[in-house]
Structure 1
Amino acid sequence: MHPIRSSALPATLSRRRLLQAAGATAACSLIAAPAFAQTRAISLTLPWVVNGSNYWPMVGKELGYFKKRGIDLTVSRGNGSVAAAQAVANKQFDLGVVFFGGTLVNMARGLPLQALATVGYDALMGNLVLEDSPIRGPKDFEGKRVGTVATSAESPYWTAYAAKTGIDLTKVTRQQLDARLIERALMDKQVDAITAIGSSSIPVLDSLGVKTRFIPWANAGVQLYAAQVIARRETIDADAGLCQAMVDGILESVVYTLKNPQASLEILYKAQPEIAMAKGGKENAVISQGLAQATMVAPEAMQNGMGYSSIPTLASMISLAAKAGALTADAKPLRPEDLATNRFVGKIKLSAAEWDAIKKNVAPYNKMLGIA
């Protein structure tokens, strides 16, 4: 995997201006950075290609949030959350940003991982239909063709959503599609709907000028956490100082992007110029960032501080995954407290006014997601 390195900022967005803006986040109650005897080179994998939903560690790298904590951070793209979690477990990376479903599957296989912080609280599983589709409610899927990718994160939970909402799946034609073609299949009306992760598929189609409607499974109680910061258990046990420094740096980065979405995207475009040059690249980044940020506004973070994981909620998600068949029959029994720890989080807290401003920013994306 090739490291993704940040470059100098454009003249219109100087490093000094960004750092001044970052200083405005003092109300976040940031803790003092741990002091290491010497700078440590640390590697982090993202869950997928760099995009607006996952690039915030790169922002923190550019703004010096990791450097001031004695960390020389290298950020690499991933190849899906399951593979990214495996790469952390196999010591290819020190830590990772991985969707909860990928961590859950790998821990059920016996890999010694744990989440240090939760960043996104809804994986945005659901169905995507064209804007003028006659599918308005769950029963409208009957008699229709629904495309899905068997290996995609949301695919196993389609049956759980159907069971919750009374869809008779014997009346639904399920069409297996290639991951590279699923959005095209909906666009070309080869299928009437697809199963999707909203933050992935909506920006792709929107950047092509295709208007869609998202039917979120979370409204029916079929919901998983999204992005989490993970590490090996041995790293957590032996190097708590590193874990704390990384969590603090990542969460500080997340807060900056929440408060300064456009300035953050300028950092992304400079670090990954191909995004800005690609047709629809900037539009995709703006939407994927907005959708991901909508999932960060949750009671867990608002009441307990950035990064907090609800252990009872994790317990219900384990049960959901088991019933949906997302875990193999020989899966290792899991306790919710094994999946995540809150020992490194809760130190960065936003005020009610700050949350209100963020809610206003993400309101258009909640509408796009059809979130109740």
Structure 2
Amino acid sequence: MHITRRTLAAVFAAATGIAAATLPTTALAQTKIKMVLNWKYQGPQAWFFIAQDKGYFKAEGLDVEIDQGEGSSASITKVTSGAYQAGFGDLNALIDIAAKRPADAPVGVYMLYNTPPFTIVVKKDSPIKTPKDLEGKTVGGPANDGALKLFPAFAKVAKVDASKVNITNMTPNLREQMLLRGQVDAIFGYVNTVYFSAKLVGIDPERDLRFINYGDYGMDLYSNAIVFSRSFVKDNPKAVQGFLKAVNRAINESLANPEMAMDHVMKREPLLKREVEKERLVATLKQEMNHPEIAKIGLGDVDGERLKRAIAMVVEANGLPRTPTADEVFDRSFLPARAERASKF
């Protein structure tokens, strides 16, 4: 006869007078979550690793597997496909899917990058001074880069004829070198991604680069958020809530102790340049995650009216078939209490 673990528990309980229901059932209680990151291992992912390493996920009954990503837009696509239940990716890519395939689109549940990080980078001595100067030039970026995906919207807002801009793709590790070698006139990226990737290959971004930031031209967009598949949110609301509780706790610890946070990043990839990644982590906290609105609503939440404007901007610029509601795109009901979420960095 095959004796199961549950049968053994019942036998033990009968012999000892302990109810079987009170015995540990950790193996049965853990909810599995596969999560995809926005990119390869970097400093500003520390909170996910802390929550995993310190058992914060486990304490919430979660068995979380974390994979590296291939771009903030690609993370949204992977959650949409069902390959992952959770992701860290660009909310604007989510808006695009929600407009086209609302039943399949993931939903944002915790906003991290509340200040638009999207940029076009040129060499310091480039004749490109304004977005209009991009006409007739070649701009490169990885195919799944968030700034590249949003370029049609940026071009419309900044009054650039996008048809006159030649866009080319390259692998992420060649982006900064191709710009410096003159193989492209400009590159797409996130400010801190390009800034610190440049430092890693010996480029001084302060001396050698200039940044044309989308946010300076009226594109007051949200960016990377924690997202979950719509079906997982419906079927596992407690798991989503527990996931955010664990990550929020780890974010607070990262704020208090960036060195500790970096220990968990380096554990994933010892070959990273620790000091550069620590700088990237701190810069991301101070710039991309520190919009003035969090003094009122706290990190993790969104301003409803601002999100509506952002949705409308993305829909109009890309000619999308419908305008998703703010509630379709972001669900704040799983957030930790306001007092538990950071207000400023």
Q: Secondary structure at the match of 2:188?
A: strand
Alignment partner of 1:237 out of 234, 254, 260: 234
Residue 280 (structure 2) aligns with: 288
Looking at structure 2, the residues matched to 200 and 308 of structure 1 have their Cα atoms a distance apart, in angstroms, of 23
Q: Deviations over 1:74-104 (max 9, x none)?
A: 2111233344333333443332222212322
Aligned partner of 2:213: which letter? P
Question: How many residues are aligned here?
Answer: 312
**Percent of residue pairs bearing the same amino acid type:** 22
CA contact (8 A) 1:42 1:72 kept: yes
Q: TM-score, normalised by structure 1?
A: 0.73
Q: Deviations over 1:146-195 (max 9, x none)?
A: 4445653222433443444455668x653423234332221112333222
1:119 paired to 2:142: no
CA contact (8 A) 1:45 1:78 kept: yes
Q: Deviations over 1:294-339 (max 9, x none)?
A: 21112343212231122222222222222332x6x5x454112110
Looking at structure 1, the residues matched to 165 and 80 of structure 2 have their Cα atoms a distance apart, in angstroms, of 38
Correspondences of 1:36-51 after superposition (within 5 Å): 38-51=29-42
Residue 179 (structure 1) aligns with: 171
Q: Secondary structure at the match of 2:120?
A: strand
Aligned partner of 1:41: which letter? K
Residue 217 (structure 1) aligns with: 214
Residue 267 (structure 2) aligns with: 270
Q: 1:209 to 1:133 in 2, by over 3 A?
A: farther
Q: Secondary structure at the match of 1:307?
A: coil
Looking at structure 2, the residues matched to 88 and 157 of structure 1 have their Cα atoms a distance apart, in angstroms, of 19
Residue 223 (structure 2) aligns with: 226
Looking at structure 2, the residues matched to 350 and 312 of structure 1 have their Cα atoms a distance apart, in angstroms, of 23
- Extract unaligned runs of 5+ from structure 1: 1-34, 276-280, 359-372
Aligned partner of 2:40: which letter? V
Greater radius of gyration (CA): 2
Residue 308 (structure 1) aligns with: 301
Looking at structure 2, the residues matched to 166 and 333 of structure 1 have their Cα atoms a distance apart, in angstroms, of 22
- Extract unaligned runs of 5+ from structure 2: 1-25
Looking at structure 2, the residues matched to 56 and 122 of structure 1 have their Cα atoms a distance apart, in angstroms, of 19
Q: Secondary structure at the match of 1:308?
A: coil
CA contact (8 A) 1:207 1:283 kept: no
Alignment partner of 1:158 out of 144, 151, 155: 151
Residue 298 (structure 1) aligns with: 291
Looking at structure 1, the residues matched to 193 and 255 of structure 2 have their Cα atoms a distance apart, in angstroms, of 19
Residue 253 (structure 2) aligns with: 256
Looking at structure 2, the residues matched to 37 and 79 of structure 1 have their Cα atoms a distance apart, in angstroms, of 32
Q: 1:113 to 1:248 in 2, by over 3 A?
A: same
Q: 1:291 to 1:105 in 2, by over 3 A?
A: farther
Q: TM-score, normalised by structure 2?
A: 0.78
1:340 paired to 2:330: yes
